[in-house]
């Protein structure tokens, strides 16, 4: 299938009602009406391409707010485009080499807490595109959830190599260090994260605690102070 480069947050796709659209009871009429992938797309390209693009766009809107109902709609549409349903999901996914399709299908399954299915999709993405950030992030999270520390570390190592300039990479690395009790890893990841975004209050707090445990009271106090200043600035921007 052709990759149309659907953006992660398409401008023409709006959740009607703002924050209230996060609920399962959200009225999705406005969402369906607002979906515009291509002007007169159905008349210019095959229907399967239009359906694929719509499903990807739905997931692009669902992911930032973890919208389960919208994700469910997208997953249904994705599955209709896969080979016959009498074939098990791993075999169906193995027949597909469309990275964007599989990436978003995995994301949909993840939002719906169908983690085994998400893992099947993201592992296939990893086979096709070993450096894909979404798949690696997802596989780290799923491995941690299963307490498969070895796999989590392997995927995290690959993520650091492939996406060293991503905040997500160092955020998940920092928290992995927290859970593992690895103070050195927490400090290294936190420092890398703050180079990308110095205004992360949580990261300053995590580093304050890490430096305190490492015996560096000066840096611990520095990050504590930074967190307090940033918090105050958010509450009183004037």
Quote the pLDDT of residue 195.
Answer: 97
Superfamily covering domain 167-238? Tetratricopeptide repeat domain (1.25.40.10)
Question: Could you read off the pLDDT of 128-147 as tens digits, one per residue?
Answer: 999 999 999 999 999 999 99
What CA–CA distance (Å, rounded) separates 73 from 200? 34
The parts of the chain modelled with pLDDT lower than 50 are 1-27, 29-39
Quote the pLDDT of residue 183.
Answer: 97
What CA–CA distance (Å, rounded) separates 200 from 127? 33
Q: Would you say how long the chain is, in residues? A: 238
Quote the pLDDT of residue 47.
Answer: 78
Angle at the Cα of 176 from the Cα atoms of 170 and 179, rounded to 5 degrees:
145
Quote the pLDDT of residue 28.
Answer: 52
What CA–CA distance (Å, rounded) separates 199 from 201? 6
pLDDT above 70 as % of the chain? 80
Helices (H), 82-216: 89-94, 99-111, 115-128, 133-145, 149-162, 167-180, 183-196, 201-214
Quote the pLDDT of residue 86.
Answer: 84
**Domains of the chain: which residue ranges?**
167-238
Quote the pLDDT of residue 33.
Answer: 42
Quote the pLDDT of residue 4.
Answer: 38
Closest by CA position to 212, among listed 197, 200, 227: 227
3 within 8 A of 98, measured Cβ to Cβ:
yes
């Amino acid at each position: 299938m052709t990759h149309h480069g659907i953006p992660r947050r398409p401008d023409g796709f709006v959740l009607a009602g703002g924050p209230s659209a996060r609920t399962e009871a959200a009225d999705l009429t406005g969402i369906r009406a607002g979906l515009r992938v291509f002007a007169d797309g159905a008349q210019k390209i095959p229907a399967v391409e239009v359906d694929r693009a719509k499903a990807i766009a739905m997931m692009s809107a669902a992911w930032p707010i973890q919208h389960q109902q919208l994700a469910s709609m997208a997953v249904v549409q994705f599955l209709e485009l896969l080979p016959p349903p009498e074939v098990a999901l791993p075999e169906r996914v193995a027949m597909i080499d469309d990275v964007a399709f599989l990436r978003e299908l995995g994301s949909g399954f993840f939002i719906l807490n169908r983690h085994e299915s998400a893992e099947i999709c993201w592992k296939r993405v990893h086979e096709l595109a070993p450096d894909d950030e979404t798949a690696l992030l997802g596989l780290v999270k799923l491995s941690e959830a299963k307490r498969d520390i070895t796999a989590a570390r392997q995927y995290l190592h690959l993520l650091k190599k492939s996406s060293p300039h991503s905040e997500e990479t160092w955020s998940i690395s920092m928290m992995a260090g927290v859970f593992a009790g690895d103070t050195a890893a927490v400090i290294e990841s936190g420092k890398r994260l703050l180079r990308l975004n110095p205004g992360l209050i949580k990261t300053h707090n995590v580093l304050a605690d890490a430096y305190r445990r490492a015996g560096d009271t000066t840096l611990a106090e520095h990050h504590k102070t930074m967190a307090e200043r940033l918090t105050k600035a958010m509450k009183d921007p004037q």
